[in-house]
Structure 1
Amino acid sequence: MYKKTTVILTLLFLLSIASPFTTSIKAEEISYEAESVILLEAETGQVLYKSNADEPMAPASLTKIMTLLLGLEALEEGELDLEDKVRISENAQISFDGTQSVMGFDRVGQEVKLEDIITGIAVVSANDGCIALAEHMKGSEDRFVRAMNEKAEEIGLEDTSFANSHGLDDPDQYMSARDVAKLSKYAVNNTPKILELESKDEFTFNDITQPNRNLMLPEKSYGYDGVDGLKTGRTADAGFSFVGTALRDDMRLIAVVMKAPDEPTRFESARNMFDYGFDNFDKLNLYESGEIVGDAPVTQGTDHFVPLATKEKLAVVTDKEDPSDLDQKLEYDEDIKAPVEQGEKLGELHIYDGDESIGSVAVEAAETIEELGFFGKILRGISNFFSNLWESIIDSITGLF
């Protein structure tokens, strides 16, 4: 349990208020044509716009964000190496016939460098590369799919189920737009190499050069300033889908468009959401990791109070044209007893815009507080007794007047 201590420290920020001559679109003016959309800020996770965002839908190649995430995490943890040779199985040897997005492996038994497999999945959305990676990592695609679903549960994806590693239509393969956005946020923040790969203009394998299918990359036909990812998707069930991410002025937005009717529409829908987000919102960095935000009383400790520090950086997103006052409320453990170890979680700091909580961060002990020894506790008890007695006398005297 935490005792709510309202610092009602009002955080009044004079934001970069939009010029009266600036024209920006409003939420009701966002133009999109898709069955499901969502826009969120990537650091805070704040949702800036959504429509039908929780309906499970066929994800098509948006699935590959999870496939890449597992591969990149394994690389970071040393379980894989980019120089590894991946043996191509019969399952992964998909013909280059135009019906699927593939790298185009030559033959069963071919050995391909893992770096090429990862890049092929990221840049040209290679279905054959997904199967090859899955089998290389887990021995079979089925076991890899189990790992995908376990990771989805770990991240907190509530309307997601994976049945394959590439995203071809399957009744047991679905994601909501909100889950796609949450997965993308997780991948971008935890495996930044995904953006390095996804922003490559083209990929050449076996003397075949294929372009990146993300036409919102700045040099492409639907180019948008700041876009550096993430993934397109198209199947009969999924229609035309897209998750894009763009970075401007230290604010990264993620836009998800699911089941648009055609390619231009999915990109124009994402463009309109990006315009809305960048035109109307600012990201405020309120606290850095380790910053002192208050203190909490400690009983039987060598100090009466322990300073509280943010465990992580805390940022929030606010409206440019209506920069409301923000309140912060510090909640900490009701009964903190020494000893207290530095780094021990003791509560949370919440940021409110009116009644709405728009951000929070764990707070921890900024220093160690040792427990009083036997004689120290006796002396503290005597001190507290006389202090309380004196306060009672003062209150009694004050009550006479």
Structure 2
Amino acid sequence: MSQHQSWAKQAYRFQQGSILSTGVLAIALIVSPLCTQTVMAQTMLVQTAVSSAKGVSVLGAPANVLSTSLAQGSAQVTPVPVTQAKSILLMDANTGQVLYQKNDELRLAPASTTKLMTLYLALQSVHQHRVQWNEIVPVTPDAVRIAETPGVSDAYLDPREQFTLRQMLQFVSVISASDATVAVADLIGGSTVGFVHEMNTQAKQLGMTGTHFANPDGLPNPNHYSTARDLAILARALVTQYPEVLQFTSMKSVTITSPLRKHPDTWYATDELLGQYPGVDGLKTGFTDAAGFCYVGTVNQGGVRLISAVMGDTVSNQAQRFVDTAKLYNWAYHNFSERTLYPGKKDLSQFVAVPNGQRRQIFVKLAAPWRVILPKTAKGTVVWQPMSLEAPISQGAIVGHLSYRIGNQVVSTVPALAAQGDARAHWWLRLWRNVTAQIAHLLHPR
């Protein structure tokens, strides 16, 4: 952070969750010597939680299946660590499998984690060719106005400055710049109001049933709320559909250079787990008095990516959200492993009956490898559930489901597809089958 910026502004950004770098820590101590013990304690908390991550077990890459929660009530995992946040959800990114949940449907203020939706819609717009990476994003009056709001993180954007969409998304991701967020929103939605409408429409499409957005930046509003479950759903969609977002969210700092600025401004990421916890590459922090400290994170170890959402963490300790997250990552990688139930390269040995088809029965296959995340000591059973079918059957049609169960709990369910098609048998063949079946019944009655 450049020397010409005010001490007060830098101290405020530290309280908002800036990285505990040497420079920022020194600034905080200069502004308020009384906070020394608190800051050192927060630093030790994060370092303690992170230090145990070095030797955790490494898992493989999971597949895209539907799953339910495994952790709660399971005797096959160690107890979940104590966490301070009001609401938490931890899931496997590729499967959507929930590993831990705590008040995950509680509606709370999301603060700047709201900006994940801004990132999602921006990347979606790039893929839809509505905007271009090198397109200049105007700094609109709304963007200037939001920067003047007390307590808001911003990049001090001037309407005369010209920054590309790529640069603006860096500002949003690294320093949580609300002025950059609103500028991007105005570009994509035509106005802030139009963009908020797109946010809510997209939230519904993603299945974020406990969410309503009132603005793109996360400032407090009675009609602006979300849940840990919904934020995890959004984060999962973001990193799986648009993985290039990780290029932004993994940045530890960003430098803003402009002819209108006397010196380059270097800003440090608000995500304190970047570079501290192995495999963490995002995603978004947030804080307001109403929301408390929030953090939506993601970590990738050995090809297994986890998504975490922590909301309403202890307001008096801004590092606690990272401590909670690191504990959950440690717990998940220690207790769970990936299993490949079917590789997906060949037809299954299972078949399904088609009484009126020419083949009468067809083999089934899976669209992709079937992988699940399970407690390391868990033992389960694969259950085949065929559908009642009538020919004709097209190749690739859903003909049943395979479920993996541990006891009475269904862990994962995937659709089984027809490995080949089956046409409807001719009437005379169906008649012949019926006659021979009747004769067989007469000769060998049951």
**Which TM-score band (shorter chain)?**
0.7 to 0.9
Q: Specify the alignment match of 1:10 in structure 2.
A: none
Q: Specify the alignment match of 1:395 in structure 2.
A: 445
Residue 359 of structure 1 pairs with residue 376 of structure 2:
no
Alpha-carbon distance in 2 for matches of 1:318, 1:132:
43
Residue 301 of structure 1 pairs with residue 353 of structure 2:
no
Residue 126 of structure 1 pairs with residue 126 of structure 2:
no
Alignment of 1:1-400 (within 5 A): 26-28=78-80, 30-93=81-144, 94-95=146-147, 99-107=151-159, 110-206=161-257, 207-218=264-275, 223-261=276-314, 262-288=317-343, 291-293=346-348, 294-320=350-376, 322-324=377-379, 326-338=380-392, 340-372=393-425, 376-395=426-445
**Native 8 Å contact 2:389 2:399 kept in 1:** no
Alpha-carbon distance in 1 for matches of 2:247, 2:369:
24
Q: State the SS of the aligned residue for 2:182.
A: helix
Q: Which stretches in structure 1 are left out of the alignment for 5+ residues?
A: 1-14, 17-23, 397-401
Deviations 1:275-306 (A, max 9, x none): 11111111223234575332211233331222
Q: More helix per residue: 1 or 2?
A: 2
- Relative distance call for 1:137 and 1:344 in structure 2 (3 A) is same
Alpha-carbon distance in 2 for matches of 1:43, 1:241:
23
Q: Which stretches in structure 2 are left out of the alignment for 5+ residues?
A: 1-57, 60-75, 258-263
Q: State the SS of the aligned residue for 2:218.
A: coil
Q: More strand per residue: 1 or 2?
A: 1
TM-score (norm 2): 0.76
How far residue 378 of structure 1 moved from its aligned partner, in angstroms, is 0.2
More displaced stretch, 363-372 vs 264-273? 363-372
Q: Specify the alignment match of 2:42 in structure 1.
A: none
Q: Specify the alignment match of 1:5 in structure 2.
A: none
Q: Specify the alignment match of 1:7 in structure 2.
A: none
Q: State the SS of the aligned residue for 2:141.
A: coil
More displaced stretch, 171-180 vs 245-254? 245-254
- Relative distance call for 1:52 and 1:380 in structure 2 (3 A) is closer
Q: State the SS of the aligned residue for 2:163.
A: strand
Alpha-carbon distance in 2 for matches of 1:285, 1:63:
35
**Native 8 Å contact 2:358 2:422 kept in 1:** yes
Deviations 1:59-78 (A, max 9, x none): 01111111111111121222
Alpha-carbon distance in 2 for matches of 1:232, 1:303:
57
Q: State the SS of the aligned residue for 1:27.
A: coil
Deviations 1:218-263 (A, max 9, x none): 2xxxx11111111111111111111111111232222222122222
**Native 8 Å contact 1:86 1:114 kept in 2:** yes
- Relative distance call for 1:117 and 1:358 in structure 2 (3 A) is same
Alpha-carbon distance in 2 for matches of 1:196, 1:286:
33
Alpha-carbon distance in 2 for matches of 1:289, 1:149:
37
**Native 8 Å contact 1:352 1:358 kept in 2:** yes
- Relative distance call for 1:306 and 1:103 in structure 2 (3 A) is farther
**Native 8 Å contact 2:280 2:299 kept in 1:** yes
More displaced stretch, 123-132 vs 281-290? 281-290
- Relative distance call for 1:286 and 1:210 in structure 2 (3 A) is same
Q: State the SS of the aligned residue for 1:263.
A: coil
**Native 8 Å contact 1:43 1:315 kept in 2:** no
